[in-house]
Every structure is written in C-alpha cells, then in structure tokens.
Amino acid sequence: MRLKNFINGEWVESSSGSFAPNRNPADLDQVLCETPHSTEEETVAAIKAARKAFPKWKETPAPQRGRILFQAMKLLLDRLEDLARTLTSEEGKTLRDSRGEVQRAINVLEFTAGEGRKLRGATIPSEIPRTFIYTVREPIGVVGLITPWNFPVAIPVWKIAPALVSGNTVVFKPAELTPLCAVKLTEIFQEAGVPPGVLNLVLGSGKVVGHTIVNHPDVSGISFTGSNEVGCGIYEQGSRRGIRVQCEMGGKNPIVILEDADLDLALEGVIQGGYGSTGQRCTAASRVIIQESIAEKMLAELVKRIEKIRIGDGMNPETDMGPLVDKNQLNRVMEYIKIGKKEGARIVCGGERLQTTPHDRGFFVQPTLFDHVKASMRIASEEIFGPVVSVLRARNFEEAVELANAVPFGLSASIYTQDISKAMRFVDLAEVGKVHINSSTIGGEAQAPFGGTKATGIGPREQGLEVFEFYTEIKTVYLDYTGKKRDSSFY
C-alpha cells in the first residue's frame, strides 16, 4: 500500500516517484506501507490550499468548528482499537500504551471542542466616559504542524484540535517513521466534516517538506515537537520572518527519592517512567536521584523489578516493553551505553541488544540501569531516548535538588517523600514546567498546560487554555458610544 498526501480535500499520490518502506520495528520483515518523499511543489500546493481556505474557515462560527471536533472525537472513540493496533505496529510501543495514547487524544478533542463555545476575550474598564473596551481572539492564519514519531496520535491531535477550533488552517507534516497513524487521523478529521483545504497532510522529509513549511511566506506559525537541534533551527528560521514559533524539545527528567519515601510506590514510578514506552518519551524518567541512606536497598529492589520486564512485540498482551523505533535509535542507545561505561558508571543490569529468537527480527535492547553516575557524565545530562536509567546518589534533600536541576533541560520532575514541606519546597525549586509528587514524571491531562523551561521549550505552552496563546491573536476594540465629538482633554 502506497500512502497519499491529503491536499485541498483530496487524497493525491505524490509525483516524486520516491517511496520508503515503513517497517514494523518488532518484525522488520513486515512492511506496513510505502511512504512518499513528497516534493517542495506538493508542499507549496498544500500551503496554498490552506491559505485559500482560511478566510471562510475564519468566518465559520467557533461553536460550529467545535462541533466538527466533537464528531472527530466520536469517530476516534469508535476506532480506538484499530488506531492503537496501527500505532503499535508502526512505532513499537505496547498495545496497552497505544490504547492509552489514543484515549489521551480523545480527551484532548473533548476538551478542545468545548472551547469552541468559550474562546474568551475580556471586557476592560476605560478611563474615558462612555467608552467600551473589549478584546477578541482571532486566528493567526496558516499554521505548520511538525510532529514526532514517539506519540504519533496524541501529539498531532493536541496541535491540530486547538489550531482548527481557533479558526486556523493547517499543513500537517508527521514524522517519516509513523505516516500511517497520520493518514488514519487525517481520514477521521475528513469524515468529521473538516472542509477542503482546512487540514492538509504532506508526507516526507524534514529537509524538503519541513523546510518548505517553515520558510513559506503564507505560513504564519509553526508548532514543532522534536529534537533540540531541529527545534532551535526552526525557531531561528521562523524568527527571521517574524512568525510565531512554538517548540517542545528535549527532556532529562529526574525522579528524586528521599529516605522517607514509600519505596514500593517509588519503584513503580521508576519502572513506568524509565522503561514505559521503551523510554522513548520526552517525559521519561531517565535520572533517578536517591538519598544515599536508602540507595543500596532501593537498587536491590529495582534490579528485581527490571529483571521481570518482559520484552517483545507490543501486540503480545504479555509484553511490558517493545522495541526501539528504528535502527538509528537503536544505534544511539547502544552508543550511549558505551559512553556510560567509558565514563566510569557501573552497569547494574541490562546494556545489551537482544538478537536471538524471538527478538532477532526487531530493534530490541535490554532495559539498562547505571549506578554511581556523576552529574558531569554525558549519560546524566544528554537525552538518550531509550530504556536507560542513571542513578545518582545524594546525601540530603538540598543536594538532590541541586542534582535535579543540573541539566540543560526543564520539562518534568518527580519527588517521592512523605514530608509535605520538602515536597512543596521541591515544587518551588525544581527548574521544570511540570512537577509530580509521589508519581512518576510521565503523564498529563488534556485540560492542563504542557511544556518546559530552559532548553526544553520555546513559545507558549501546549494543551489547556494556555494553548490558545499560541493559536490566536488578541484584538483590542475601543467602542465610543457618545455619538458626538470628544473633548480632546480625554486623550
């Protein structure tokens, strides 16, 4: 099956003549589809279709736009299992995780659709008699949405939904590794009633499709999720044109475990955060900072739990951890494991690729745990994006906070403690956009803002009400209802 682009309400085969096989990372013999390397001309056609559709979509009342999103939510709910299975086959995560991701997308649609009746402005008192000041929110225009492979359903939805309900038109470029999820999502929005040109999908590379979107004069905003290197480049290019840019990038998220913590709860948080979704989350708990007095006990129990993780095809209901997404990601993870050894960290368990039956046809690696990691080591400060967890030891709460903040990123952090004073002090001091108390670094809800500080994020937050700070402009209106000439002294 060869995938097509969706431009101006039509499914169109790419004219490039170049296609790449999309393989199941758990079984490389299984080719799911062929993905086109779309051209600059095809990307421009999608942008122009979005630009042409914008005036009419902008004039469509926001409650009507919201009704279309509600319909998309119903369709997604009906197809939850089908899309979850597609996600597992294409990206590799367990079917349980895939179902959770699709449900997250459903929740986002439900929340965002309701905002079609609540896109808020404000009334403001004037210092001038008989003058009414109010604000309205207006769409910014054509937005380019560039999404990653690790959450190929939830992240596109949490960008597309607020863009559409705000009245923008969209050019959507998904990751090359997960095009089938993008096609199925686009089909859902099409069936829900999104008019031609309002949502366009172009499959292809960042160098061609992404570059064209970022630099085209008809595109008024870019929302990107992915690597820091690419995100900073997009921000630089977008800022030259004076357009809006929103980037969610890397994370190196800590779990702090103090000596009074509920250890069973903390152990579960490390397993979920460090090895869930094969560690391929921007919110993954890749650093565990343990108070020295409980470190040996904690590590012994942690190793027991890691050794029970069942690795395999995510379609198998017995599987706890699936493969890495592709060969590049596998090579990256294995290289960081070598770096950790060379730096002097001690591997407690894992550290090897699995290459014997039944793992010989996929990109499987053992869940890996390093101990005696120093903050200065690369494995403690650079994003690995795989099932590799580094343990750092802290003498006390103050040192734990210092270690937690000793990275360039600032997305998520977690603390396990029964001391409410220390928990809330950690909330004050953690240099992140999201803090969890007695739960892992992962997770979030549709109605709450999502994003990070430092090198993690550029621009307004995603999700929650804050998302509309990116997708809308505020227009201020002064209504003079005196009906006669003003005394100039009022001005």
Is 248 part of the annotated catalytic residue set? yes
**Catalytic option among 42, 91, 247, 282:** 282
Q: Minimal CA–CA distance to 44: which of 247, 211, 222? A: 211
Task: Tell me: cis bond preceding 55? Omega within 30 of 0 counts.
Answer: no
Chain centroid offset of residue 72 CA: 20
Ordered DSSP codes for 278-340: GG-STT---EEEEEGGGHHHHHHHHHHHHTT--BS-TTSTT-SB---SSHHHHHHHHHHHHHH
CB atoms within 10 A of CB 55: 9
Is 101 part of the annotated catalytic residue set? no
**φ, ψ at 461 (rounded to 5°):** -70, 155
Q: Which residues contact 434 (CB under 8 A, 6 or more apart)?
A: 283, 411, 412, 413, 441, 444, 450, 451, 452
Q: Minimal CA–CA distance to 268: which of 257, 282, 260? A: 257
Measured N-to-C along each axis, helices 420-429 and 397-404 cross at an angle, to the nearest 10 degrees, of 30
Distances (CA, A) of 377 to 6, 52, 331, 347, 371: 45, 52, 19, 14, 12
Q: Could you give the CA distance from residue 135 to residue 126 in angstroms, rounded to a whole number? A: 13
- B/e letters for 122-140, b = 16+ CB within 10 Å, e = fewer, are eeeeeeeeeeeeeeebbbb
Q: Could you give the CA distance from residue 266 to residue 490 in angstroms, rounded to a whole number? A: 63
Asked if 220 contacts 140 with a C-beta cutoff of 8 angstroms, the reply is yes
Chain centroid offset of residue 352 CA: 28
Which one-letter DSSP state was computed for residue 461? P
Which long-range contacts (C-beta less than 8 Å, at least 24 apart) are formed by 238-244? 238/214, 241/215, 241/217, 243/219, 244/140, 244/220, 244/459, 244/470
Q: Could you give the CA distance from residue 208 to residue 37 in angstroms, rounded to a whole number? A: 8
Which residues is 23 bridged to in the sheet? 31
Q: Could you give the CA distance from residue 129 to residue 145 in angstroms, rounded to a whole number? A: 45
Asked if 142 contacts 198 with a C-beta cutoff of 8 angstroms, the reply is no
Order the strands of the 472-480 sheet from edge to edge: 123-124, 131-139, 472-480
116 sits in the region (left: phi over 0; alpha: psi -120 to 50; else beta) called: alpha
**Catalytic option among 91, 110, 248, 383:** 248
Active-site residue set: 248, 282
